[in-house]
């Protein structure tokens, strides 16, 4: 293997873990970033886990850009969605804005309730 197959600093697998065949399937560098246990929300979802991973696909002829993989049900589930770094950054920003919007609305309502009460 060449230096193209060396593990990036974020990869959590052992050195030399890639098994890439000429004209065959590739392999992945991976890092488990978080596995978040989520409680049941009645009517929305059962108890589950949310996995956040970094993955990078490597073949004999190419090293692809790393992606952020997100999925309910734990790491490596078939329903995982992969995002480029830019897409993941936009998604994280949008989630942060949504949380802020709801929290700010609650704070404003709580202040109105205090003023009336």
Tens digits of residue pLDDT in 23-43:
888 999 999 999 999 999 999
pLDDT averaged over every residue in the chain: 86
Cβ atoms of residues 7 and 15 within 8 Å: yes
Confidence of residue 1 (pLDDT cuts 50, 70, 90): very low
pLDDT of residue 88: 96
- Distance separating alpha carbons of residues 32 and 75, to the nearest angstrom: 8
Percent of the chain with pLDDT over 70: 81
């Amino acid at each position: 293997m060449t230096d193209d197959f060396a593990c990036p600093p974020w990869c959590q697998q052992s050195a030399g873990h890639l098994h890439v065949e000429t004209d065959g399937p590739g392999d992945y560098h991976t890092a488990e970033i978080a596995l978040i246990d989520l409680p049941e929300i009645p009517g929305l979802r059962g108890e589950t886990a949310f996995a956040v991973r970094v993955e990078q696909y490597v073949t004999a002829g190419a090293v692809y850009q790393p992606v952020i993989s997100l999925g309910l049900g734990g790491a490596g589930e078939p329903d995982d969605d992969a995002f480029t770094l830019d897409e993941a950054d936009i998604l994280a920003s949008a989630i942060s804005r949504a949380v802020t919007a709801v929290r700010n609305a609650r704070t404003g309502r709580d202040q109105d309730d205090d003023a009336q009460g």
